[in-house]
Structure 1
Amino acid sequence: MAMDLIIRRARLADGEIADIGISGGMFAAVERRLDCGAVREIDAGGRLVTPPFADPHLHLDAVLTVGSPRYNASGTLLEGIAIWGERRPGVTKEEILRNAREAVLWEAANGVQFIRTHADTTDPSLVTVEALLELKDEMREVAEIQVVAFPQDGIYTIPDGERNLRRAVEMGCDCVGAIPHNELTREDGVRSVELAFDLAEKYGRLVDIHCDETGDDQSRFAEVMAKCAIASGMGPRTTASHTTAMHNYNNDYALKLMGIFRRAKMNFITLPFDNSVLQNRTDGYPRRRGHTRVDELDAAGVNVCIGHDSIMDPWYPMGKGSMLAAANLLLHTAHMSGYDQIFRLFDMITVNSARTMNVEERYGIEQGKPANLLVLDAPDRFEAIRLQSECLWSVRNGSVIAETVPAQRTLSWGGRKRHVDFSASCRGAGEEEEAHPVLLPRMA
């Protein structure tokens, strides 16, 4: 019986080479060799084939707005918030949709098929929520999108903050957010966390809170989240984003927290792009690193994943939606260049993020699951992160949604020619030889 699609000579995460058969939008077989044919075949040529990337933390309501109404001259988090506040009154649904749609396509071209976006609920019109819920439906063939009701300025800092948040959840947001460190008092911060959990329980939603996104070592709302997660039993459905203050906690307190987080079974998201440029800018020298304790959380058995956060907005003027670039940056800033740690970084943009987004039951290259996968221009996960590899093919629900032809580089000197693809496997190859031909593009 013919398949709809077969990926030939796919290198799986464990290094094994297999053929992957897809039928009816589902994985039908993963075997060393499939003898049947298919409507379409793709020869992966020994390249890495992996489940799709997931971006569990993105602000699609602000993407591609850098410089409007002005650029962030100081590069600080607070000025970014101020610029967004200036921009917010004039934002239209059409503009949000246009920019967000483009950013989703950027991420899809880079192999992202699962996105969690935050929608600012500060404006009582909730135009951001309306736009991103519409986008979620419009782009479902490209990516599965979760929307977080997110009170950017805090819940209790404005008169209608709580009402706006409730309305956003009732409109259909998938997750309930908060930003406790931005509330006027610690007491209000605790209230905001408790409200997020109450609403999530009442409406059957997930919890994703911007927590302790500051260099202040006295910002300690992660422990409040853990307490609520334990009390409610919602730990696996709970996510603490940023937690950069944890970087600056004293080690005894941080060690205590690790055990509590593991008990709570909650998830953590670190944001390498924004955290590396926004945090600890007032330190002078020496400067602390602006991210949470990624390596310690991971070693303690806590689920940690990586988000992109911003793409060309008031907080971060760079970015193109590449999760491999985010993992590569974190390797450097989190001191995670140990050999085994590099593979953990790949987990943080794939399986760990799927766990955070609660999509595990339909994620992974296994018979009977939705046929979502990537063919990367790399032989393994190590090289994928080093090279920040192109996604040659992205397959979603059995259909190819993205194809990339990577750059070809030829150097000529002294009458000789040499193709360069930056592959470490080219060592020892003759000058006139194609280095590691199995990795050269082979389009079906």
Structure 2
Amino acid sequence: MKIINARLRQQTALYTIIVENGLFASIQQQDQPVVLDASTAGDDIDAQGKLFCAPFVEPHIHLDAALTAGEPEWNRSGTLFEGIERWSQRKPMLSPDDIRRRVKDTLAMLIDNGVQHIRTHIDTTDPSLVAMSTLCELRDELKDVLDIQVVAFPQEGIHSYPNGEALMTEAMEIGADVVGGIPHFEYTRELGEKSVKTLIQLALKYDRLVDVHCDEIDDPNSRFLEFLAHEAMQAGIGDRVTASHTTAMHSYDNAYCSKLFRLLKHSSIHFVSCPTESIHLQGRFDSYPKRRGLTRVKELTAAGMNVGFAQDSIFDPWYSLGNGKLLRSLDFGLHICQMMGYDDFVHALDFITDNSAKLMQLKSYGVKEGHPANGILLSGEDDYSVLRNQGEVLFNMRHGKILMQRQPSTVIQRVSL
């Protein structure tokens, strides 16, 4: 298979990409545009100057809850905590068939929008652990199509939910790839700190990655991030740890953040921000001025720390919209974080590609010779044009095989102006 006239990120030339045995065998710069011979083309593709890049990475989503909004009740206040209550009502309705149907529908949506790598948080505060078992099964069944990391996520707390720690351990035995936590939702500060210690111990025991819902609240006194970063650093696993949300950082004063950033930098932990969900859930107790409630993405990035963007939810008790389009989350994130300078635009796709691949510790990720032939073609020629026009994913290729392909949207009739 050959792809001609393709543009690559941060490059102005056109390239020919040759795929053999599921790998990128050759990536060569062209001197000029090449014409595809239709009579001998076969599976070859003319990219027509459009951007070919590594697949999008979704580093934070809740597949077990996807497509359940309004079942059995809607989250009418729009708050995080009512979302947790509504999900508690929905959990008894879970079954393998229910989960498989919704998850597969959601995964199809993600594939259509260029995603191949997913980290999903699965609730362990359910004594049946049916979602955990089902997602681990689907992860293994679909490995040729998608990479899925399953997080053991204690939605209602490790130490505030009955038998919570034992359920986390059982989830690790079932096969979870990542240890999760939610220290700010534990009943007390002491239990929150205890939960961080517990999840770090589980990660060390089972040799797993860590991804913690950390300080997803407007409270400026919620400071579990510093505790997580220190515990990770002390355990020597900082680069294997991700702090998701950290929205309380939006409410921290600058003096504290200056001190905090020193620890965060030394710890080497990663960050995930979910722009559409956070702008919706946070600031709910404010009148005016009203906080945006996102973590300090711009400042973390400027300090050299790694931040990925994610969708978090698709039509669930916390977020009743969502369509699988990471470009939408990227657009929201850059606006909300006031990262609207040209230098921000030209590297914008980093937030939904390389940065998230790094925190997920994906191997052989990227359009490079010898790597698996995984990539997407976007209707734009660079990060800026794709972002500005919310470019369509024209095809999604994995190991040299096309998972999804669409024709570009075109206007067939327009009124004269």
Determine if the TM-score, normalized by the shorter chain, exceeds 0.5.
yes
Could you report, residue by residue, the CA deviation over 1:24-49 in whole angstroms, capped at 9, with x for unpaired residues?
11110000249998752111011011
Matches within 5 A, 1:282-293: 282-293=285-296
Mapped partners of 1:138, 1:309: distance in 2: 23
Structure 1 partner of 2:25: 28
Mapped partners of 1:391, 1:140: distance in 2: 21
State the secondary structure of the residue aligned to 2:412: strand
Determine if the alignment matches structure 1 residue 271 to structure 2 residue 274: yes
Mapped partners of 1:300, 1:413: distance in 2: 50
Structure 1 partner of 2:368: 366
Would the aligned equivalents of 2:347 and 2:383 in 1 still touch at CA under 8 Å? no
Could you report, residue by residue, the CA deviation over 1:216-236 in whole angstroms, capped at 9, with x for unpaired residues?
000001101110121111111
Given candidates 163, 166, 188, the residue that maps to 2:166 is 163
Mapped partners of 1:160, 1:357: distance in 2: 29
Mapped partners of 2:350, 2:84: distance in 1: 31
Matches within 5 A, 1:406-421: 406-414=408-416
Structure 1 partner of 2:386: 384
The size of the alignment, in residue pairs, is: 410
State the secondary structure of the residue aligned to 2:216: coil
State the secondary structure of the residue aligned to 2:125: coil
Determine if the alignment matches structure 1 residue 174 to structure 2 residue 183: no
Q: Percent of aligned positions with the same letter in both sequences?
A: 45
TM-score, structure 1 length as denominator? 0.90
Structure 2 partner of 1:431: none
State the secondary structure of the residue aligned to 2:58: strand
Would the aligned equivalents of 1:236 and 1:267 in 2 still touch at CA under 8 Å? yes
Matches within 5 A, 1:3-152: 5-15=1-11, 16-33=13-30, 40-152=43-155
Mapped partners of 1:70, 1:385: distance in 2: 36
TM-score, structure 2 length as denominator? 0.96
Structure 2 partner of 1:212: 215
Mapped partners of 1:308, 1:382: distance in 2: 20
Structure 2 partner of 1:242: 245
Q: CA deviation at 1:71?
A: 1.1
Aligned partner letter, 1:313: D
Could you report, residue by residue, the CA deviation over 1:411-434 in whole angstroms, capped at 9, with x for unpaired residues?
4445x9xxxxxxxxxxxxxxxxxx
Mapped partners of 1:344, 1:242: distance in 2: 22
Q: CA deviation at 1:407?
A: 2.1
Report the CA distance shift for 1:38/1:412 in structure 2 as closer, same or farther (over 3 A).
closer
State the secondary structure of the residue aligned to 1:410: coil
Given candidates 396, 399, 424, the residue that maps to 2:398 is 396
Q: CA deviation at 1:139?
A: 2.1
Consecutive unaligned residues of structure 1, counting only runs of 5 or more, are 417-444
Report the CA distance shift for 1:8/1:76 in structure 2 as closer, same or farther (over 3 A).
same
RMSD: 1.5
Mapped partners of 1:343, 1:198: distance in 2: 40
Mapped partners of 1:158, 1:30: distance in 2: 53
Mapped partners of 1:66, 1:406: distance in 2: 31
Aligned partner letter, 2:324: G
Would the aligned equivalents of 2:120 and 2:150 in 1 still touch at CA under 8 Å? yes
Mapped partners of 2:260, 2:346: distance in 1: 25
Mapped partners of 1:156, 1:328: distance in 2: 37
Would the aligned equivalents of 1:259 and 1:300 in 2 still touch at CA under 8 Å? no
Would the aligned equivalents of 2:348 and 2:383 in 1 still touch at CA under 8 Å? no
Could you report, residue by residue, the CA deviation over 1:93-124 in whole angstroms, capped at 9, with x for unpaired residues?
21111101111110110000000001100011
Mapped partners of 1:52, 1:362: distance in 2: 12
Could you report, residue by residue, the CA deviation over 1:217-258 in whole angstroms, capped at 9, with x for unpaired residues?
000011011101211111111000000000100101111111
